[in-house]
């Protein structure tokens, strides 16, 4: 389960960075043209850019909190990922394949965040707090330790 928590934290970091990148694009190129059969519509996406920017920074913070096994980050991640899944349901008609993939990914992340959290948190904490004893060093043969002379 510890691997799932690291996966969830890493995915939140990646999705947060993607949201921030998309937010900058939406903020700097904030007018889009939409052509329908009846008329031409100019759409300003500045508000959407700010929503993406804020959600991106929230996802970065929560992902970093998950990687450091903070309980507040787990609760916040459950809320954020649940909202992300609901938003993907709303986008289902526009982007069906992408939305279904994101809903599946959100489901895996929710499973990682809700199943046996205390065991995973304890295991991750043990791995991070283990002191270096020198036994972790690889035992090399004499030939592997030999470095060629400098020319």
| Model pLDDT for residues 67-103, shown as the tens digit of each residue | 887 888 888 999 999 998 998 898 888 778 988 998 9
User: Is 132 or 121 the better-scoring residue by pLDDT?
Assistant: 121
- Rg (C-alpha) for the chain, rounded Å, is 22
Please, what is the average pLDDT of the chain?
A: 78
Q: Which residue has the tokens 């998309």?
A: 22
Phi–psi pair at 94, nearest 5 degrees: -80, -45
Is the pTM here over 0.85, yes or no?
no
Nearest alpha-carbon partner for 52 in 101, 17, 99:
17
How many CB atoms neighbour CB 21 within 10 A? Answer: 13
CA distances from 146 to 8, 39, 140, 141, 142 (A): 42, 76, 10, 9, 6
- The per-residue pLDDT for 120 is 60
Q: Which residue has the tokens 């295991």?
A: 123
DSSP at 116: S
Distance CA 36, CA 71 (A): 48
Element (H, E) at 34: strand 31-35
CA distances from 140 to 36, 84, 143, 145, 146 (A): 69, 49, 8, 6, 10
User: Is 11 or 33 the better-scoring residue by pLDDT?
Assistant: 11
Q: Answer for the pair 30, 45: CB distance below 8 angstroms, yes or no.
A: yes
User: Is 108 or 37 the better-scoring residue by pLDDT?
Assistant: 108
Nearest alpha-carbon partner for 23 in 47, 52, 43:
52
User: Which of 58-62, 67-71, 116-120 is predicted least confidently?
Assistant: 116-120
Distance CA 62, CA 73 (A): 5
């Amino acid at each position: 389960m510890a691997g799932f928590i690291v996966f969830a934290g890493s995915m939140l970091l990646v999705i947060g960075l993607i949201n921030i990148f998309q937010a900058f694009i939406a903020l700097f190129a904030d007018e889009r043209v939409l052509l329908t059969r009846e008329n031409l519509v100019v759409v300003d996406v500045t508000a959407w850019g700010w929503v993406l920017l804020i959600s991106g920074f929230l996802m970065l913070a929560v992902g970093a909190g998950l990687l450091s096994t903070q309980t507040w980050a787990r609760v916040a991640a459950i809320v954020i990922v649940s909202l992300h899944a609901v938003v993907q349901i709303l986008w289902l008609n526009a982007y069906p394949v992408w939305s279904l993939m994101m809903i599946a990914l959100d489901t895996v992340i929710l499973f990682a965040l809700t199943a046996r959290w205390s065991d995973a948190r304890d295991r991750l904490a043990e791995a991070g707090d283990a002191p270096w004893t020198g036994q972790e060093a690889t035992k090399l043969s004499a030939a592997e330790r030999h470095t060629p002379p400098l020319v």
